[in-house]
Amino acid sequence: MTERKILLTGAGGQIGQILTRALVDKFGKENVIATDISENPGFENTYFRLDVLDKEGMQRILEENKITDFYHLAAVLSATGEKNPARAWEVNMNGLLNVLETARNSKVDRLFFPSSIAVFGEGIDREKAGQNAVLIPHSVYGISKAAGENWCCYYHEKYGLDVRSLRYPGVIGYESMPGGGTTDYAVDIFFKAIEEGRYTCFLREDARLPMIYMDDAIRATLELMDAPADRIKIRTSYNLQGMSFTPAELFDQIRKLQPDFKIEYRPDFRQKIADSWPRRLDDSAAREDWGWEQKFDIAKLTETMYRGIKNRQLQKS
């Protein structure tokens, strides 16, 4: 295998921080370059400030560092996107087009594009959204991800670019904070339980959504990127399912560890976004094509999140 040289956009985000660390562990810190729109959040590997709308800057970094593997994570998520749809479209769409063009020009070996359950909307089986279900999303984020998947497929077919993609469910972890998503409640709830003993949830108690624990999401990403190209049959994006639960079910799990924990439900505009998303995905294509298998269920996730946050607090005090 030739030496890998990795570049990430959006490395300061919830998934980006953990994926950068995993890639550094796997390929060595000298081979991983992290970028984000903000100043370096504390990476020890090479870091550049990069706005994904700056195509020349992106091209320069790719060429000067002879990048082989490109992970494009920068995006405006569902809830933030609804507050400024034009900005979400600009960042998500033009950012991706810059990534696709520069990756093609620089002949990178592989490109990763994260899609989302947000691509689904009208006309699906909400209990088990199929791999090839119709995509009629309701949020600007979902529209940009659905279009993005098709652009990725187009670049694969037309230019042979080896683009790979996953439709992430809500990603839950405690070492990096989510920002601007509809599934963020499933992270916030743990911090509020431990810090304040109560939580006000912005979704209804029965809002069932697909979720995945961070370790599973990172492993899925690396396994997809490691798979031989002929195993990747889907060049739009693979459905990825971890587990599915409602806020009430997550609350019950946390109560097993903290019996006096209290919750109230005050659904806001994010409930409408959640209502348009599937409750579960059919990820059999990912299982068949490149061997995807999740390890975390709701009980293991709750235990890991709760103990992880508690331990970190003990270390700080």
Closest CB to ligand AKB: residue number? 181
User: How many Cα neighbours within 13 Å face the side chain of 290?
Assistant: 23
Q: Quick one: which of 142, 99, 89, 112 has its CA closest to 217?
A: 112
For residue 159, indicate whether it is catalytic: no
Q: How far is the CB of 183 from ligand AKB (least distance, A)?
A: 4
Q: Which residues bind ligand AKB (CB under 6 A)?
A: 77-78, 116-118, 141, 168, 170, 181-183
Looking at residue 110, the DSSP 8-state letter turns out to be E
**Please, what sign has the CA dihedral across residues 270, 272, 277, 279?**
positive
Ramachandran region, residue 197 (left: φ > 0; alpha: ψ -120 to 50; beta: rest): left
Q: Quick one: which of 4, 70, 83 has its CA closest to 221?
A: 70
Q: Quick one: which of 222, 227, 295, 220 has its CA closest to 22?
A: 222
Residue 188 or residue 303: which is nearer to ligand AKB going by CB?
188
Residue 141 or residue 199: which is nearer to ligand AKB going by CB?
141
Q: How far is the CB of 66 from ligand AKB (least distance, A)?
A: 31
Kindly name the residue from 47, 71, 141, 168 that is annotated as catalytic. 141
Q: How far is the CB of 230 from ligand AKB (least distance, A)?
A: 29
Q: How far is the CB of 172 from ligand AKB (least distance, A)?
A: 9
Strands 163-168 and 6-9: unpaired
Q: Is 306:194 a contact under the CB 8 Å cutoff? A: yes
**Which residues contact residue 160 at a Cβ distance below 8 angstroms, ignoring those fewer than 6 apart?**
none
Q: How far is the CB of 204 from ligand AKB (least distance, A)?
A: 15
Residue 98 or residue 115: which is nearer to ligand AKB going by CB?
115
Alpha-carbon span 198 to 265, nearest angstrom: 11
Q: Is 131:165 a contact under the CB 8 Å cutoff? A: no
Task: Quote the tokens at residue 192.
Answer: 């509020």
Residue 235 or residue 270: which is nearer to ligand AKB going by CB?
270
Residue 95 or residue 170: which is nearer to ligand AKB going by CB?
170
Residues carrying an active site annotation? 141
